[in-house]
Amino acid sequence: MAEIFNAAKQTEEIPELEELEKKGQYRSALGGLLVSPDKTSFESQENDEKVVIMGRKHFVTNVGWIAMACFAFFIPLFWGEFPFIKVLTTNVNFELTLAWYAGLLFYVIQNFLLWFYNVYIVTNERVVDIDFLGLLNNSVNVTQIEKIEDVSYSQRGMLSSFFNYGNVEVETASEQKNEDGRRGPDFDFLSVSSPALVVKIISELMEIEEREHEISRV
């Protein structure tokens, strides 16, 4: 399972977060963006590290597989319309129906887990990208806030603008290359909710880190 579990943690207060907390926004556990989640932490989290935001793909990105599952749910009701199924006995027909719904349940659970546990976490110290690939397979990429050079977002298409989701790109000092030889983002969070807000919060954390670094040098 991915590296998220519950723990009693408080989040660092910065102006943008305080305003959102007062309004009670971005608090749903099934939302694409959680701001200052009270009971969220991750395995490698330090004792003094505060989770600022946690996000995943916007829920609307699940519409495709949900629609497919709803369509597949009613197919067994029309078994009688298929000639090769008509000739089956009642017991075989029943077993086939059970196998169909078992496979459909696995399909739904798998897609939900892939959406729910593929998350990114922004703390007051770093950015953590958790890629959940299955119950026994996941990868974690981490970078410190102080190593981030640039953060940006993009929205393409009517749906992304209407539902307010897009791609957030975080670049660090590494020299990661794309297949065409050009440098690509070190962290690419796809179809995340409220990308402008995510970029704003990360930028604010970068400024805080930079001020603290300057003070420590004095």
| 8 A C-beta contact, residue 42 and residue 4 | yes
Residue 97 — very low, low, confident or very high, per pLDDT cuts 50/70/90?
confident
**pLDDT tens, position by position, 136-180:** 677 888 889 888 989 999 998 888 889 999 999 999 876 554 444
**pLDDT tens, position by position, 36-48:** 877 777 777 788 8
| Cα–Cα nearest to 5, from 28, 39, 37, 34 | 39
| 8 A C-beta contact, residue 55 and residue 192 | yes
Q: Give Cα 108 distance to the centre of its chain.
A: 17
**135, two tokens:** 């119950």
At residue 24, the 3 state secondary structure works out as: coil
> DSSP for 54-123?
EE-B-GGGGHHHHHHHHHHHHGGGGGGGSHHHHTS-HHHHHHHHHHHHHHHHHHHHHHHHHHHH-EEEEE
